[in-house]
Structure 1
């Protein structure tokens, strides 16, 4: 292999390494550009190679990088074309609004971290709601590594201890599934918001506490939240791409 081809090979490796670094840093737009440039250079190298073994290895890497670049291009395109703002109004006693329906579309393979701000993850049923949300995350395709919860404390010391104990148990359970639960307490938190690091922001008037209690534990809707009656609330869905544009305009 000549010096010219060796130089192209070194450039291709350097550019593709940068593409991977940008990919890992979630700078997907820039990463796609580097993947495309690096692949073009690597294709030139493959054409000039005479070593069949090396040519086969490079072709395999080209296929791998091309698949990732296409995946990123599709994701970036979807983010740019996403609605700036979508609003769902849930009427009192409405059914059909399970966490699966509300959140599943945000749980894709680009999601690695979730931030939940809700001052009322305190009582038993509120922590159960959080548990059900976490179960949805765990069984999804999303490779979530961290869930950050910021919530308030009950004024009663006994209730505080119970809240901390239950959240700690949830954290230990999530840890067995490769997800870290980071808990912070705030005495000034008022807003309820869930931020997904794949670009989505969801604001719910009542936070995760949108469901009414059933008559008893043997009533339809106790287990299946699609059948559970809801409190009236509003769900606002934003795409971070548009939010950032508004903040910089």
Structure 2
């Protein structure tokens, strides 16, 4: 498929997602489609065609800017609806008990900002989170992960391999996945398209290792000891807009 055709398909899909309220996915499609179309235009020898493409690109950039403003508006914190203080060595706090009730069939998109995805237990935590999302969010269509890029000197492709496996598994379940790397990322945040924003001081990784390994809490995190952290759940009142 030529670059122009692929860009066109992505931009058409971006408009469709925008119209049905899948704005996180629309944002990604606009960005990717515009980038590909601009690359194609640079190699177009016909000046008149090039000018026509430039005008079309400007239209899509305007749409992308409008989507960005909507996304940023939905990521703004609104009203605090819950606060949980987890103390050192506390138990009884698996993901479902903390925020499972906010994940429902109105959640069609999820954004997870989690800086650290490098260790086996961190990938396991991500899987546990996604299992909860799939269970509770029956209409989930799009998942975006933003994390820091990490290259293990012994296995430089391990992070991309692991996240690629997770992406492939979700896509087999008809959930579109976007993975973005931001080296300056620090905040941890979960955005649910039904309007809830969950901020956890330590992100997903607030559980201690099972000690000894084969003890209660190895599989059911309700029994796993925690590190000290705070959880705030916010409700954005513009969720329906």
The two structures share one fold, judged by TM-score above 0.5: yes
Deviation at 1:137, TM superposition (A): 1.1
Could you say what secondary structure the match of 2:186 adopts?
A: coil
Equivalences, count:
168
Alignment-derived partner of residue 100 in structure 1: 96
Q: Distance in 2 between matches of 1:103 and 1:85?
A: 11
TM-score, scaled to structure 1: 0.62
Structure with the bigger RCO (C-alpha within 8 Å, sep 6+) is 2
The change in CA–CA distance for 1:110 and 1:235 in structure 2 (over 3 A counts) is same
Indicate the residue corresponding to 2:157 in structure 1: 161
- Whose Rg is larger? 1
**Deviation at residue 111 of structure 1 after TM alignment:** 0.5
Q: Which sections of structure 2, spanning at least 5 residues, go unmatched?
A: 1-17, 23-77
Q: Distance in 1 between matches of 2:140 and 2:216?
A: 32
Which residue is 1:91 aligned to? 87
Q: What is the DSSP-based 3-state SS (H/G/I as helix, E as strand, rest coil) of the residue aligned with 2:157?
A: helix
Identify the structure with the greater helix proportion.
1
- For 1:173 and 1:243, the matched residues in 2 are separated by 29
The residue matched to 2:205 in structure 1 has which SS?
A: coil
- Would the aligned equivalents of 1:84 and 1:242 in 2 still touch at CA under 8 Å? no
Deviation at 1:228, TM superposition (A): 0.4
- 1:119 is aligned to 115
Match of 2:225 in 1: 229
Of residues 198, 203, 211 in structure 2, which corresponds to 1:202? 198
State the Cα deviation string for residues 182-233 of structure 1 (Å, max 9, x = none): 1111111010001001100000010000100012431110000000000000
What is the match of residue 8 of structure 2? none
**Map 1:41-80 → 2, pairs under 5 A:** none
1:25-46 per-residue CA deviation (whole Å, 9 max, x = no partner) reads 48xxxxxxxxxxxxxxxxxxxx
**Deviation readout 1:66-123 (Å, 9 max, x if unpaired):** xxxxxxxxxxxxxxxx963421100011111101112211221211000011111221
1:141-180 equivalences under 5 Å are: 141-180=137-176
Larger CA deviation: 139-148 vs 161-170: 139-148
SS of alignment partner, residue 125 of structure 2: helix
RMSD of aligned alpha carbons: 2.4
Normalising by structure 2, we get a TM-score of 0.64
Maintained 8 Å contact 1:193/1:201: yes
Helix, strand or coil at the partner of 1:221 = coil
Where structure 1 has 5 or more consecutive residues not aligned to the other structure, the ranges are 1-21, 27-81, 245-249
Structure 1 residues 137 and 92, CA, compared in 2 at 3 Å: closer, same or farther?
A: same
Aligned residue for 1:84, secondary structure, equals: strand
Query: Which residue matches 2:129?
Result: 133
Question: Following the alignment from structure 2 to structure 1, what is the Cα–Cα distance between the partners of residues 238 and 80?
Answer: 6
C-alpha separation in 2, matches of 1:166 and 1:109: 28
Corresponding residue of 1:217: 213
